């Protein structure tokens, strides 16, 4: 079984099938918002764009809003998500109160932290639809103010960047000012930035990065900035971080002619899909006499104490820049309604430990004679050496034993047998690693 949906934010190879897929057209949108309880009931295929549009009029937002508008709430929970509130709010699944799941066994089950199906509640994150699909989720919301004031701090040394990120994330303040949002960008080993965001009611001029100006370049051009809360939440979507440059959308002459409605991640993703279907990029490289390229589109988490070393290694070995940094820490005490802190077995981050998500999205030349996925394999090995984890939305090359050790092992096998006993859905290793 699979879902028949119009959008996707997955970058790994998927099995080809002629099956029509499950119709999810009725599972979009927000069912209800309870401003008093600060909760929302949301259909599983609701995009964050629609979710935020429904909650902001109440002065509320999800505790974590992933960067791209067409990411769905169900997708962020079953496949993980992250953003600049993750240093204080964890990951999107940690603000879920209950989930309705259509299991591989054909049942719709309501899973809660301490209910009859609590094992499914805790095991659903990072299962990528291999245990079932969420049809409804109830999530916590938090109050937000109309504007976000930004400070961009430059660093010339990666170790100093790491120390500052650790301190600011722990204190949740900098120079006496509260920090509500925290992320960073590395342009090189000697040029990196942390962006500190503070919610504010104070009016005044705001920047607009949906037009000719490009958000990530503003970090290098100014030390302070202001955005509306909506523009802040979607600051990365207009240029898909910096990936729009691959399509010429950052060239000023092209940008002026590029329709504004097509300056968004969902349109760039369609261009990527066309490239993958017709092998456009490699054909162009061959015409230039260049080798084909390996796609390196990944997000990894490393403990904060290893961040500088990992980034320095990456910049030496993998010719990709910039890199995105986003600190995260599991929520304490955890989801509301849970009687005790419990681990998320399919993506086992340690409680009370700060990690940093490092995001890199590009490609590298393939050296003749290299193994398939040579650069990605090297990254996987190095992330493991630094005691980190890798998200599974893109290409993976683990062998079965290493994969089981990193992503649930026996816990996953027990859940799979209980909720998909006839294997109507692919298992996690088959879906995330094996290719057909």
Strands 22-23 and 3-4: parallel
Position 4 scores a pLDDT of 66
Cα(376)–Cα(391) distance, rounded to whole angstroms? 12
DSSP assignment, residue 46?
-
Give domain limits for the chain.
14-143
The predicted-structure confidence for 417-435, as pLDDT tens digits, reads as follows: 999 999 999 999 999 997 6
Cα(271)–Cα(69) distance, rounded to whole angstroms? 17
Give me 280's structure tokens.
Answer: 């456009």
Neighbours of 35 (CB within 10 A): 14
Sign of CA dihedral 45, 276, 281, 362: positive
Position 337 scores a pLDDT of 61
Burial of 248 (0-12, 13-18, 19+ CB in 10 A): exposed
Sign of CA dihedral 169, 175, 179, 184: negative
Q: 5 pLDDT exceeds 70? A: no
Give me 349's structure tokens.
Answer: 């981050």
14-143 is a CATH 3.20.20.150 domain: no
Q: What is the pTM of this model?
A: 0.94
Q: 24 pLDDT exceeds 90? A: no
pLDDT band, very low/low/confident/very high, at 13 (cuts 50, 70, 90): low
The predicted-structure confidence for 134-171, as pLDDT tens digits, reads as follows: 999 999 999 999 999 999 999 999 999 999 999 999 99
User: What are phi and psi for residue 185, nearest 5 degrees?
Assistant: -135, 135
Burial 291-323 (b: 16+ CB within 10 A, else e): eeebbbbbbbbbbbbbbbbbbebbbeebebbbb
Neighbours of 112 (CB within 10 A): 18
Position 431 scores a pLDDT of 92
Cβ proximity of 218 and 122 under 8 Å: no
The predicted-structure confidence for 52-92, as pLDDT tens digits, reads as follows: 999 999 999 999 999 999 999 999 999 999 999 999 999 99
The predicted-structure confidence for 302-354, as pLDDT tens digits, reads as follows: 999 999 999 999 999 999 999 999 999 999 877 766 666 677 999 999 999 99
Summary mean pLDDT of the chain: 93
Q: 124 pLDDT exceeds 60? A: yes
Percent of the chain residues topping a pLDDT of 90: 83
Cα(373)–Cα(370) distance, rounded to whole angstroms? 8
Cα(315)–Cα(255) distance, rounded to whole angstroms? 29
Cα(310)–Cα(321) distance, rounded to whole angstroms? 14
CA distances from 38 to 63, 89, 144, 150, 179 (A): 11, 15, 11, 26, 22
Position 382 scores a pLDDT of 98
Mean pLDDT of 387-413: 94
The predicted-structure confidence for 217-245, as pLDDT tens digits, reads as follows: 999 999 999 999 999 999 999 999 999 99
How many residues in the chain?
436
């Amino acid at each position: 079984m699979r879902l028949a949906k119009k959008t996707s934010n997955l970058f790994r190879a998927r099995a080809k099938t002629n099956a029509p897929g499950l119709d999810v057209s009725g599972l979009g949108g927000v069912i209800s918002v309870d401003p008093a309880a600060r909760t929302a009931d949301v259909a599983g295929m609701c995009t964050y764009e629609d979710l935020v549009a429904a909650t902001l009029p109440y002065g509320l937002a999800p505790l974590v809003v992933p960067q791209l508008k067409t990411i769905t709430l169900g997708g962020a929970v079953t496949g993980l998500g992250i953003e600049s509130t993750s240093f204080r709010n964890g990951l999107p699944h940690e603000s879920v109160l209950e989930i309705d799941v259509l299991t591989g066994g054909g049942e719709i089950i309501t899973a809660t932290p301490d209910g009859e199906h609590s094992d499914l509640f805790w095991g659903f994150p990072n299962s990528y639809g291999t245990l079932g699909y969420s049809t409804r989720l109830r999530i916590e919301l938090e109050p937000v103010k109309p504007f976000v004031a930004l400070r961009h701090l430059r660093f010339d040394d990666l170790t100093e960047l790491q120390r500052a990120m650790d301190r600011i994330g722990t204190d949740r303040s900098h120079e006496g000012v509260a920090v509500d949002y925290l992320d960073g960008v590395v342009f090189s080993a000697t040029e990196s930035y942390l962006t500190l965001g503070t919610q504010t009611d104070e009016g005044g001029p705001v920047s607009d990065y949906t037009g000719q100006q490009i958000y990530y370049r503003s970090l290098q051009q100014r030390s302070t900035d202001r955005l509306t809360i909506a523009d802040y939440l979607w600051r990365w979507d207009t240029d898909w971080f910096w990936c729009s440059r691959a399509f010429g959308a950052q060239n000023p002459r092209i940008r002026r002619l590029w329709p504004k409605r097509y300056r968004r991640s969902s349109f760039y993703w369609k261009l990527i899909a066309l490239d993958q279907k017709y092998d456009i990029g490699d054909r162009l490289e061959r015409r230039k006499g260049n080798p084909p390229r390996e796609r390196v589109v990944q997000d990894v988490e490393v403990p904060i104490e290893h961040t500088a070393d990992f980034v320095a290694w990456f910049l030496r070995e993998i010719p990709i820049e910039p890199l995105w940094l986003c600190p995260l820490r599991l929520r304490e005490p955890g989801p509301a309604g849970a009687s005790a802190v419990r681990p998320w077995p399919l993506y086992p981050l340690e409680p009370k430990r700060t990690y940093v998500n490092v995001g890199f999205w590009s490609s590298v030349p393939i050296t003749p004679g290299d193994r398939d996925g040579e650069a990605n394999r090297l990254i996987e090995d190095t992330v493991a050496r630094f005691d980190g984890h890798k998200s599974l939305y893109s290409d993976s090359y683990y062998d079965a034993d290493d994969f089981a050790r990193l992503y649930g092992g026996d816990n996953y096998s027990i859940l799979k047998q209980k909720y998909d006993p006839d294997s109507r859905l692919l298992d996690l290793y088959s879906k995330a690693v094996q290719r057909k």
